[in-house]
Amino acid sequence: MKTLIITNSLDATVDFIINEIGSSNFVRINYDRPHDWILNLSKDALSIKSNVLGFDITDKDISKFIWRKPYISEPELAPYDDKFYKTEWKFFLHDIMLFFRKKGRVFLNEPLPDFLFTKHYQLSYAADYFDCPPMFSRINAVLPPQINSIAKGLSSTTFENGNVFYTTDISGQELDSALWTIQEKVDRTHDLTIAFVYGKVFAFELDRGLFEGVDWRTVVFEVSEDWRFIELDSDFTNRIIKFMSELSLNYGRLDFLANANASDAVFLEVNRNGQWAWLDPKHEHGLFKAMCDVYHP
């Protein structure tokens, strides 16, 4: 039996997983490489033939389906470089996901509820369990100079030129009448990120004195080895479990700002498909094993 993963050819997390468990256990369909496959889907059956590796299997050979991060890179070869075919290909992949959903074989989180987990929606639930900084979004209104504030994006979408909108300190700045999401700036010494995997909780902290600016993602590779595994107390752990259960999430990476050892933690957001592999690169803290157990067919 195999695990079918829908992702893209740049997904290093899946590279790590496949290298650990063994490529013979997986079928990896990359959205940016549609020409690698001959796929036939009906309401009753799916057949998968690889133009690269040469295997030919059916849905009966697939025990698990996992949706990763397919749309980071786009197909470049005709006809899939055309907007129509790109969209058709996306719908086809969603149809495959729904095919396995009906069979009860979808693991981790489905892609369908993406718009149900907006940052404002998350905060409305998180406020029952954690301290949360005030946040608001405005469109078509010039905003006066901001006091102790940061700006962030509602989505993970890049700009047309590929640039990423990282969390930015906008204290003292006047903002134009575009679409802005503003949050109160939180003064803490550490970033705290917590991976939740089917009820298991893995917490890591990063000293904010190790980088400049407010968003560690701008230097993610420089500080990847500086995250420190920590144990959470039972109260914090139970609140995370209850929060994730209320949102019906099997996996998520929750981001907080805190002082050392998760004290005075303030909730920022939960990424229901967040990256995690750099947190446990030496397989010392159980996170990598927990994810391998999920991915293994």
Do 173 and 150 fall within a single domain?
yes
* pLDDT value at residue 163: 83
Do 89 and 18 fall within a single domain?
yes
Q: Residue 263 pLDDT more than 90? A: yes
What is the pLDDT averaged over residues 240-263?
A: 97
For 154-183, how does the pLDDT look when each residue is reduced to its tens digit (9 = 90+)?
Answer: 887 778 787 888 899 999 999 988 899 999
> Do the domain assignments include residue 117?
no
Place 136 in a pLDDT band, splitting at 50, 70 and 90: very high
* pLDDT value at residue 20: 95
What secondary structure, in 3-state letters, does the chain show? CEEEEEECCCCHHHHHHHHHHCHHHEEEEECCCHHHEEEEECCCCEEEEECCCCCEEEHHHEEEEEECCHHHCCCCCCCCCCHHHHHHHHHHHHHHHHHHHHCCCEECCCCHHHHHCCHHHHHHHHCCCCECCCEEEECCCCECCECCEEEECCCCCCCCCCCCCCCEECECCCECCCCEEEEECCCCCEEEEEEEECCEEEEEEEEHHHCCCCCHHHHCCCCCCCCEEECCCHHHHHHHHHHHHHCCCCEEEEEEEEEHHHEEEEEEEEECCCCCHHHCCCCCCCHHHHHHHHHCC
Do 279 and 236 fall within a single domain?
yes
What is the pLDDT averaged over residues 256-273?
A: 96
Indicate whether this model's pTM tops 0.75. yes
Do 7 and 64 fall within a single domain?
yes
Do 77 and 166 fall within a single domain?
no
What is the pLDDT averaged over residues 24-28?
A: 97
* pLDDT value at residue 104: 96
> Do the domain assignments include residue 121?
no
Query: End of a domain among 185, 216, 248?
Result: 185
For 196-211, how does the pLDDT look when each residue is reduced to its tens digit (9 = 90+)?
Answer: 999 999 999 999 999 9
Q: Residue 245 pLDDT more than 80? A: yes
Which of the residue ranges 118-122, 128-132, 217-221 has the most confident prediction, judged by mean pLDDT?
Answer: 128-132
CATH of the domain at 265: 3.30.470.20
Query: End of a domain among 185, 204, 228?
Result: 185
Do 101 and 139 fall within a single domain?
no
> Do the domain assignments include residue 98?
yes
Backbone φ/ψ region at 192: left (φ over 0), alpha (ψ -120 to 50), beta: beta
Query: End of a domain among 185, 209, 226?
Result: 185
* pLDDT value at residue 220: 86
Do 268 and 204 fall within a single domain?
yes
Place 123 in a pLDDT band, splitting at 50, 70 and 90: very high
What is the pLDDT averaged over residues 60-81?
A: 95
> Do the domain assignments include residue 43?
yes
Domain range for 145 is 134-185
Do 103 and 139 fall within a single domain?
no
* pLDDT value at residue 161: 81
> Do the domain assignments include residue 120?
no
* pLDDT value at residue 141: 86
Residue 112, token pair as written in the block: 């369908």
Do 67 and 150 fall within a single domain?
no
Do 96 and 165 fall within a single domain?
no
Place 59 in a pLDDT band, splitting at 50, 70 and 90: very high
**In the chain, % of residues over pLDDT 90:** 83
> Do the domain assignments include residue 115?
no
Q: Residue 105 pLDDT more than 90? A: yes
- How does the average pLDDT of the chain come out, rounded? 94
> Do the domain assignments include residue 246?
yes
Give the count of domains, the chain.
3
* pLDDT value at residue 8: 97
> Do the domain assignments include residue 118?
no
Do 59 and 92 fall within a single domain?
yes
**In the chain, % of residues over pLDDT 70:** 99
Q: Residue 94 pLDDT more than 80? A: yes
Do 75 and 173 fall within a single domain?
no
